[in-house]
Structure 1
Amino acid sequence: MKGKKILGDERRELILDWLKSSGQPITGSDLAAKTNVSRQVIVSDITLLKAKNEPIIATSQGYLYMSNPVKRIERIVACTHKPEQTEEELLLLVNLGVTVLDVKIEHAVYGDLTASIMVSNPKEVQQFIDKIHSTNASYLSELTNGVHLHTLSAASEEVLDKAEEALRRNGFLIE
């Protein structure tokens, strides 16, 4: 690392300002480089900011500040599919105007596990899929033979109804 480390409160204030003004996710690595600290220090900083009720969420694209969240309707749906069908499932949903907030599974040992996805358009879906492949990570649903829940968000119940029907038609919905 080059340059002077930015310390504690000053660093967290800068991180908050960058996240608020960005409107786009910023990776922990980018924040670490800007402040001359490790990514792990950034993870701790984000945890401290969240503890102060700052609306920061971790997405697969980086950290995002949720200022003025738009009122949207949420619904949880139960799905199942093979890992290679994940991109098809996510594109089906985002192309209908749905944001896929997360994936949840019920693990035999750990109980409920939830991971943020936060994809709302084809580009974000592609970034998510590319990141899974480039890191050789497994999909959370692989731990449950494809069975998982998604929290979906949309502007209206009608959009969520259409999304649920599309999942049903494509054999992804568990009823």
Structure 2
Amino acid sequence: MNSNERRNKLIDILKESKHPVKGGVLAELLNVSRQVIVQDIALIRAKGFEIIATPQGYIIYNQPYFSRQIKCKNHRNPQEIYEELRIIVDLGGIVKDVIVNHSTYGQITAELNIYSKMDIDDFMIKVETNEFKQLSVLTECSHIHTIEALKEKTIEDIIKKLDDSGILS
């Protein structure tokens, strides 16, 4: 697990927990030192997440995320993939996952958790080096993303920009 994946997992653990989680517990769950957790928390806070340190552990302030699924055209080249993800992140969105409907296997979902340009760059390196095949290659015409944002208007702005760019299906 690379550092971005670890931070995304850390965010997910804190968002799902109803109670504070001690740094030592997080370190054990993520197989890193407590100091790495402290550094990760600082970097996550810099992304705008409100994480509170209490004597009982870390807790993420429950931010009301708005969520929407959007249907996008499949891409012919990596530049089109990059452009789609960049629009979402630049406007303040998070790309939670990608979903495809396969004729034999039905709905297939993969978590992406792309929060930043750095996350996009990491994803694109994997695409361009063929480290993995995108799920979108399993279908001919479209894929679905679940996107999240702190404001509903942000999601509306993302959808408008994607539509104006000819990305939506």
- TM-score, length of structure 2 as denominator length: 0.64
Residue of structure 2 aligned with 1:122, choices 117, 128, 133:
117
Secondary structure of 2:99 counterpart = strand
Q: SS at 2:91's partner residue?
A: coil
Q: CA deviation at 1:67?
A: 5.3
Determine whether 1:15 maps to 2:29: yes
Give the Å deviation of 1:12: 9.5
CA contact (8 A) 2:27 2:33 kept: no
- Number of the residue aligned with 2:68: 75
The alignment status of 1:112 with 2:107, answered yes or no, reads yes
Deviation string for 1:139-173 (max 9, x for gaps)? 11111124100000001110000000011001111
Alignment of structure 1 residues 113-152 onto 2, 5 Å: 113-152=108-147
Alpha-carbon separation, structure 2, partners of 1:14 and 1:99 = 27
1:161 aligns with 2:151: no
Which segment drifts farther, 94-103 or 12-21? Answer: 12-21
**Aligned counterparts of 2:142 and 2:119: Cα–Cα separation in 1:** 23
Deviations 1:81-101 (A, max 9, x none): 314211110001100000000
RMSD: 2.8
The amino acid that maps onto 2:98 is: V
The separation in 2 between residues aligned to 1:135 and 1:70, in whole angstroms, is: 36
SS of the residue corresponding to residue 104 of structure 2 reads coil
1:83/1:139 contact within 8 Å kept? no
Amino acid at match of 1:109: T
Change (3 A) 1:101 1:12: closer
Counterpart-to-counterpart distance in 2, 1:122 and 1:166? 17
Q: Could you list the runs of 5+ residues in structure 1 that have no partner in the other structure?
A: 1-10, 26-65
1:100 equivalent to 2:114? Answer: no
Q: Is the 8 A contact 1:83 1:142 kept in 2?
A: no
1:19 Cα deviation after fit: 8.5
Structure 2 unaligned regions, length at least 5:
1-24, 45-57
Contact 2:114 2:120 in 1 (8 A): yes
Percent identity between matched residues is: 25
Counterpart Cα distance in 2 of 1:124 and 1:19? 23
TM-score (norm 1): 0.62
Deviation at 1:135, TM superposition (A): 4.0
